[in-house]
Amino acid sequence: MSEIYNGILARYGEIFLKGDIVRRKFEGVLLSNLQRGLKDADISAKVRLLRGRLFVEISDIDSASNILARTFGIVSYSPVIVCEKKYNEIKKTSIALAEKFKKGSFAVEARRSDKSFALNSQQIKEKIGNVIRKMGFSVDLTNPKNRLCIEVHEKCYVYSTTMKGPGGMPLGTAGCVAGFLRDRKDFLTDWMLMKRGAVVVILGKYDRKLLRCLQAWSVGREVRAARNIGESMKKCIAIATHRKIKTDMVVLNPLVGFSDKEIKEKISSILR
């Protein structure tokens, strides 16, 4: 089904709650991280900002989805069909997507960011809903088997599925933190700090396999092992560790409050 799509619409969450200046800065970091991540994976794509969204113009949907699924700051993403901002084009595109639906019920969701478009969100839902209903689908607004989603920006984006991203904040928006990588708990500690936007520098001996795994989540950035610990520490604002250590620096332990079972389950879900 991916062959009918011509791009991916990605959503971010916490960034949108920031003030204008900070939000624009963080949006720029997220955009840059995603562009570098796609380039590092040899994926040719164009990425641009929309209101509360990132749009990835690409034909290789599956490869790009693998990057988006590991890009901190991305809450969710959807493969989309892009069409012109005209009702007849939206109608034609919606029909093409609905033809791929499973038999049964459906619901239409609409979001209009561009207020210059003639139809408001409710009118879009009603008009397109009537079109899909005539194709033999029943309406179920509570628990539909199929969802048709329409977003109107500078163009129209039509989709039916949404995948979860890791959420959090874009890498590079929370400074540099020193960390360890000797075991799986270290891995989770570093991963959770990265999710809050910190770039992690690894101190001392480390597990090479875990480093590769951590690097896979560091989309657009590099997880570095410190060559000169003293110099590296000067750039760090804190140390991330689940162990008890003596230091004058701020110590961050994101695993506090988690049971051993919860930690194991979290590690397994990330490393699967």
d(CA 237, CA 222): 18
Tell me the residue range of the domain where 225 lies. 176-271
Provide the residue-wise pLDDT of the chain in tens; the chain has 272 residues.
Answer: 557 899 999 999 889 888 999 999 999 999 999 999 999 999 999 999 998 899 999 989 999 999 999 999 999 999 999 999 999 999 999 999 999 999 999 999 999 999 999 999 999 999 999 999 999 999 999 999 999 999 999 999 999 999 999 999 999 999 999 999 999 999 999 999 999 999 999 998 999 999 999 999 999 998 988 877 777 778 899 999 999 999 889 999 999 999 999 999 999 999 98
50: CATH = 3.30.2130.30
List Cα–Cα distances, 128 to 146, 175, 203, in angstroms: 14, 46, 57
What's the pLDDT score for residue 153?
A: 95
Q: If we measure between CA atoms, which residue out of 144, 150, 201, 204 comes closest to residue 171? A: 201
What's the pLDDT score for residue 31?
A: 97
Please indicate, yes or no, if residue 169 is contained in any of the structural domains. no
Shared domain check, 250 and 184: yes
267: CATH = 3.40.50.620
Shared domain check, 236 and 189: yes
Torsions phi, psi for 89 (to 5 deg)? -70, -40
